[in-house]
Amino acid sequence: MHVILHPLAKREMREAAAYYQRQQPGLGGEFAEEVQAGVENLRDNPKLYPEFLQGARRKLLSRFPYGLVYVLQDKVIIIVAVAHTSRRPGYWVNRIGSVPLDEP
């Protein structure tokens, strides 16, 4: 399946990676690697995770307190947020449906 990251999800991922990198050199890269592994997991098993809010699904990361919040549209996985699990629940809901499917 094709995966699209909402532009704000991309920013959240970069900001979290930068934060972890400031905490410990190399940790930002480890965060980015775990996000990438999560994306690959979603690509292989898009319906593995149950719907939890507004039809979105969430794949929790193993090592970091973040989840990949995504929706399925046609044959596309749209990651609408790389969300911290303890902050501002549901802040990303207005992003659902706001990503064009022809985005590269």
Q: Percent of the chain at pLDDT above 90?
A: 75
Assigned token pair, 94 = 């207005």
| Alpha carbons 100 and 104: distance in angstroms, whole number | 10
- Does this model's pTM top 0.75? My answer is yes
| Alpha carbons 93 and 24: distance in angstroms, whole number | 32
For the cut 90, the answer to whether the pLDDT of residue 101 exceeds it is no
Identity of the residue numbered 61: L
Taking the domains of the chain in order of start, what are their residue ranges? 2-95
| Alpha carbons 94 and 80: distance in angstroms, whole number | 9
Angle at CA 13, nearest 5°, toward 23 and 56?
135
Average pLDDT score over residue span 73-93:
90
Question: Predicted confidence band at 100 (pLDDT cuts at 50, 70, 90)?
Answer: low
| Alpha carbons 6 and 78: distance in angstroms, whole number | 7
For the cut 60, the answer to whether the pLDDT of residue 104 exceeds it is no
Domain 2-95 has CATH 3.30.2310.20: yes
